[in-house]
Amino acid sequence: MASHVTNRVLGAGKLYIAEYVNGVLGGFRYFGDTPGFTINISADRVTDDTSDGPIAEEAMNILTKVTRAASIIAKDVSLENLALFVMGTAGTRTQAGTAVTDEAIDGVAVDRYYQLGQSSANPVGVRQVSSVTVTDDQGSPTTFTEGTDYEIDLATGLLYVIAGGGITDGTSLRVSYTPSAGDIEEIASSDLGNAQVAIKYVANNTKGTNRDAYMALCDIAPNGDLAWKSRDTVAQMTFDVSILKPTTGEEALYINGQAVAA
């Protein structure tokens, strides 16, 4: 009699994800280092028992629904992954290098920071500025001194009003500066909801037979915390995945063995 070969698996592998845009599937991108990937299957049933005997016995057990889901833990805080996690869109914001003259910051308070270039069109303001001068709004304006009256972080465009300097509470400032021209990556949250994607898993197991998985249509949404600041925890993101049955003929989930090289 042939003996049974036990296939114990200690799983490892890579995840790839492709997003649907207007119903069209784009190319797959590597999801990055993913320390966790699980698939969960649950089933709903309708049951019925006999009623006439002294002990009820199950007479019917019908499967009515199968729910397939997955969970992904990702450590790669890429722009695309972060956009998925905050349920937003990723892109770039182009910053012009045009010099700004007498930008108004009215009614300042001492010991406070003010963002240069901030507006409704550009809520985060400018980055990488140079040639900063700060005056008040008087007819014969006073020019203030950096390091005595104010400090400027050129990288972030943050202007700090120094307590005890020449700028007092209520002063209206006029700031001139030149931003550095270039593109800045940016994610803006949106109300578009969870994204629809296809997910491909390519196994490279530590132990056991390699079997790949493909899910043609999934809803993916964030779940849990992202350690934005921590000295103890590496930042990672958890995503919940609903594995759906496509309406275009594919099955919800495919699991394939890997071909052996000739």
Strands (E), the chain: 13-21, 24-25, 29-30, 36-49, 58-74, 88-95, 100-105, 113-115, 129-136, 150-153, 158-161, 173-179, 182-189, 195-203, 211-222, 237-243, 254-257
Q: Where are the domains of the chain?
A: 13-90+189-257, 97-180
pTM for the model stands at 0.86
| DSSP state at residue 56 | -
- Per-residue pLDDT tens digits of the chain, which is 262 residues long: 778 888 899 999 999 999 998 889 999 999 999 999 999 999 999 999 999 999 999 999 999 999 999 999 999 999 999 999 999 999 999 999 999 999 999 999 999 999 999 999 899 999 999 999 999 999 999 999 999 999 999 999 999 999 999 999 999 999 999 999 999 999 999 887 789 999 999 999 999 999 999 999 999 999 999 999 999 999 999 999 999 999 999 999 999 999 876 6
